[in-house]
Chain A
């Protein structure tokens, strides 16, 4: 995600719109000429002397110099180091074509697996799910993903996802689930044991002991998108009651 912040501009005054809703066309800052440089992330662009928002969302700031627009949309815009869930669609000579929801499918090379080489090909039938990391993601090239941590060469959680159930959601909800404190996941975790993998491309995979629980998990997560913490507690409680009474 941080690889998005390619554009840097010199500017002094960023208006006090941080954490406010901004709309396309809103001027969020002006270049007044100083040595301080800031970095613009997704949703912001420079138009002459002004920094203009191009998407509708909340303007966020991360010290010291990163600004971006946070919004929720159905379509995922790829960025390097994002964690995604993909569906294998084709087997190529030296890898796989994986659908991650972007306009082009991503390639996953066989060398991007732990211990993967020509003699030790990873076995991924068409239609299987993979949990992977984006390694090449820009607007000009086909995206590429990897199932291995490049530094250590180990899988570390990436790779095929066995069993379970994957459902689609908006990118905003996926980010919400990846936050350190996610109310709906905490509530559910207190009641049922389950495994979850969240792809920032708007796909979530859950696995639990029974089909009932998997359905409950997916419904609860999808319902919780616009709810406050208290509403989430009530909703999860109601769903659990319904299961117990069956």
Chain B
């Protein structure tokens, strides 16, 4: 039986409107060992991010004398998808996503402040329901902030698609695999600079512009949520010391 991605009343399969995001939950500072860590949930997609760095470069030949190198490893847990995944690391999709996220953060982290070091970002998807690369980028942003690594701005990512020439934001797995275009985009919210933009499938140019706008609006909504979470945590961490100043 064919289920419509977008019903005639304008509701999607899970009851959302075309421009509504899934429910987002996030937490920072989970791991004692990692320099920074975060947990990010977007609907049923759950991602853990851990950041180690800046630390000594493990492969000396890769060391850069004037900036830090950023390494990223993205992998999905075997239990994250509907059917058990046999090969979680090193398969093409994970490698591609690792590379894309690494390049995204190389532009956002102020690498010239930390020469001859490396920053390692480890992303693990615990449950995948569409939008894993966007959720991973959001989780990695929180983990980097938790680690105190200097960044130009937050990096927020959101994906959008298009059904019957209506852009829909934040695709879940069913919508993603139904054949609509999938346009994940990552931006620096304050300046609206695009750090990552990908697209599956084809779209006419005018439709693409509307889908991109919808994705960027979704990014800004996610940014508001991340900012609130970060500000609360910063206030707890540093502000609870009251009238304290060691200097």
Interface residues of A, Cβ cutoff 8 Å to B: 1, 21-25, 27, 43, 45, 47, 52, 54-58, 60, 62, 70-75, 103-104, 139-140, 172, 175-176, 178-179, 226-229
Contacts and interface: CB of A to CB of B under 8 A. Distances in A.
A27 B36 CA distance: 24
A223 B53 CA distance: 25
Interface stretch (B6-14, B16-24, B231-239): B231-239
A70 B110 contact: no
Given A25-B189, A56-B230, A104-B56, A226 B152 contact: no
B59 interface: no
Contacts of A72: 148, 237-238
A23 B234 contact: yes
A140 B152 contact: no
Instruction: Provide the main secondary structure of the chain A interface.
Output: loop
B106 interface: no
Contacts of B98: none
Given A23-B231, A54-B150, A179 B237 contact: no
Interface string B170-203: 0000000000000000001110000000000000
A102 to B, nearest CB: 9
18 contacts: A23-B234, A24-B154, A25-B151, A25-B190, A27-B190, A55-B150, A56-B233, A57-B234, A58-B234, A71-B148, A72-B237, A72-B238, A73-B36, A73-B147, A103-B116, A139-B114, A179-B246, A229-B242
A24 B147 contact: no
B244 interface: yes
A229 B240 CA distance: 10
A206 to B, nearest CB: 19
Given A25-B190, A226-B236, A56 B247 contact: no
A208 B24 CA distance: 48
Contact of A70 (B55, B146, B238): B238
A25 B35 contact: no
B245 interface: yes
B3 interface: no
Interface in B73-118: 110, 113-117
Contacts, number: 110
B113 A139 contact: yes
A21 B110 contact: no
Interface of B: 35-36, 53-56, 110, 113-117, 145-154, 188-190, 227, 230-231, 233-242, 244-247
A172 B237 CA distance: 8
Contact of A24 (B113, B145, B242): B145
A23 B227 contact: yes
A74 B152 contact: no
Contact of A23 (B56, B145, B148): B145
B56 A74 contact: no
B247 A62 contact: yes
Contacts of B35: 73-75
Q: Which of A57, A139, A178 has the most CB of B within 10 A?
A: A139
A23 B151 CA distance: 10
B244 A75 contact: no
Nearest to B114: A139
A25 B246 contact: no
Nearest to A73: B148
A103 B57 CA distance: 8
